[in-house]
A and B are shown apart, each in its own frame.
Chain A
Amino acid sequence: GDSVTQMEGPVTLSEEAFLTINCTYTATGYPSLFWYVQYPGEGLQLLLKATKADDKGSNKGFEATYRKETTSFHLEKGSVQVSDSAVYFCALRVAGGGNKLTFGTGTQLKVEL
């Protein structure tokens, strides 16, 4: 079945450090890929998406490139801020079947001054 694997957290960084959160997937067909972010006490919000191979999703300084050859969708940011502290979820959607999403287990990011 479809699955998403994310790096374990928590990831602790100093402000202005470079961030990478790894995500790899297994899917039948050609999935769309997503990164969602969950701030403390809130629901998930869509951060960025990519719908086909080599697409780059970007938002709020975060980027991720859909790599079909390595089945990966790693999240990167050049300079993190304290306000980026949250839990980040990688997810995939395979067409059909009610637009269901399959989520990774989430990676907690803590950014310190």
Chain B
Amino acid sequence: NAGVTQTPKFQVLKTGQSMTLQCAQDMNHNSMYWYRQDPGMGLRLIYYSASEGTTDKGEVPNGYNVSRLNKREFSLRLESAAPSQTSVYFCASSGGGTTSYEQYFGPGTRLTVT
């Protein structure tokens, strides 16, 4: 099992460009999450999907959109990137069995917006 995979690993964008971060999990989990990690701020939830077909805003959703493409995949889109979106982005998933509330994280995408 690969667990949670994310692409790309690194990306540099110019202000105003758009891009989509991809996330996939092979653990048959129901729930998926997108976080951003900034120095001194910990992890902040951007959007989450409690189950296939649903998405909800987290703590910092402005400037982002998400799509739960199917049970495995959950993408994060930046429509018009801004320097304030420079961050490390993590996808996570949870759900299933006795450890249904544990979240499993991907390796992250380091995004720089110039």
Write the residues of chain A forming the contact surface with B, with a CB cutoff of 8 angstroms.
32, 34, 36, 41-46, 49, 89, 93, 97-101, 103-106
Contacts and interface: CB of A to CB of B under 8 A. Distances in A.
Contacts of A101: 43, 45, 103
B48 A42 contact: no
Interface of B: 4, 31, 33, 40-45, 48-50, 56, 58, 90, 92, 94-95, 100-108
A104 B42 contact: yes
7 contacts: A32-B101, A34-B102, A43-B90, A44-B103, A99-B94, A99-B101, A100-B58
Contacts of B33: 100
Contacts of A44: 43, 90, 92, 103, 105
Nearest to B51: A98
The list of the 7 closest CB pairs from A to B, nearest first, reads A43-B105, A98-B50, A105-B42, A103-B42, A44-B105, A103-B43, A99-B101
Given A43-B105, A97-B50, A100-B58, 9 more contacts: A42-B108, A43-B107, A44-B92, A44-B105, A46-B103, A93-B101, A98-B49, A98-B50, A99-B103
Contacts of A93: 101
B45 A100 contact: yes
Contact of B48 (A43, A98, A104, A105): A98
Given A103-B42, A105-B42, A98 B90 contact: no
A99 B31 CA distance: 8
Contact of B106 (A43, A99, A106): A43
Contacts of A104: 42
